[in-house]
Amino acid sequence: MTNKLSSEDLDKIVENQCFHLPYFRAMLRAVEQSFYPREGLPEPVLDVGSGDGHFAWAMLTQQAWFGFDPWLEPSKEARKYGLYHSLIISDAHRLPSVSGHFASALSNSVLEHIPDVQGVLDEVYRALQDGGAFYYAVPNHRWREQLWGQAFFKRLGLKRLASAYERFFNKISRHVNLDAPEVWIERLKQAGFESVETFNYFPVWALRMLERGHAAGLPNLLWKKLFGKWVLFPSRKNPFLRFNKIRKLVDDSKCEDGVCSFFIAKKGAGASKL
């Protein structure tokens, strides 16, 4: 996939994330946003796991987006943006959509949280038009293996604590599927997708920066509860936002040993006639 973004485009992407989210969330979202086509996705767009709507807002494509999410409270926030043509509280295993309706679909850092994810992939395939593409981002198997806290305890010879830390971190992250790209490709093929492109991104140092950011981001939680926003001083000069560090990451985020994987799965041109 080619995606020509100017330096100004990338600056704006990082601002849209850093100025509105705790930095440990912003750094991953900024990287992922840079992978989507600048001109937007073919319409209508299915957003699987639309959450609070911030990611759709940050893309600023002014397109026909249709959001589906099982959680009520985040969906209430998403409605405030006024972006979605339709926003439905729905389990992604049973999308309330006719077959072949959507020209494209995306799911950004969502599928790793869903048990029985095969059923979701099957539904997305059904909902896509022939020739439509499904874009999604997930952490992979290396995420589990490369955590800073886990490595710290291993260096001390405390293997049980290392394993306990890994389980704890992934529990609070609500991770269910931390799988290698090959596992995802097999799932996509099983769902019926004809072709799959994939690449890895987000180096180990970035994961560990994100990991430590969970503690550093506690004040952001307080700001959110008191003032209704995660960031009080949205400026590139605010050292707590790590703007420059994240901007450099966005410039060079793809790597073979990355702890996340991005996929573009395409439905065959005449799939519905088979």
Task: List the domain boundaries for the chain.
Answer: 7-142+178-269
Query: Each residue of 231-242: pLDDT tens digit?
Result: 999 999 999 999
* Average pLDDT, integer, range 47-67: 85
Q: Are the CB atoms for 13 and 37 separated by under 8 Å?
A: no
Question: CA 253 to CA 189: how far, in whole Å?
Answer: 27
Shortest CA distance to 65 belongs to which of 110, 99, 105?
105
Q: Are the CB atoms for 131 and 270 separated by under 8 Å?
A: no
Q: How many CB atoms lie within 10 A of CB 115?
A: 9
Query: Each residue of 201-211: pLDDT tens digit?
Result: 999 999 999 99
Question: CA 236 to CA 198: how far, in whole Å?
Answer: 32
Question: CA 262 to CA 143: how far, in whole Å?
Answer: 14
Res. 40: pLDDT tops 80: no
161 three-state secondary structure: helix
* Confidence band, pLDDT 50/70/90 cuts, at residue 61: low
> Would you state the pLDDT for residue 2?
52
Query: Each residue of 175-205: pLDDT tens digit?
Result: 999 999 999 999 999 999 999 999 999 999 9
Res. 1: pLDDT tops 70: no
* Average pLDDT, integer, range 213-226: 84
Question: CA 58 to CA 75: how far, in whole Å?
Answer: 16
User: Domain 7-142+178-269 adopts which CATH fold?
Assistant: Rossmann fold (3.40.50)
* Confidence band, pLDDT 50/70/90 cuts, at residue 80: confident
Question: CA 174 to CA 206: how far, in whole Å?
Answer: 19
* Average pLDDT, integer, range 221-227: 87
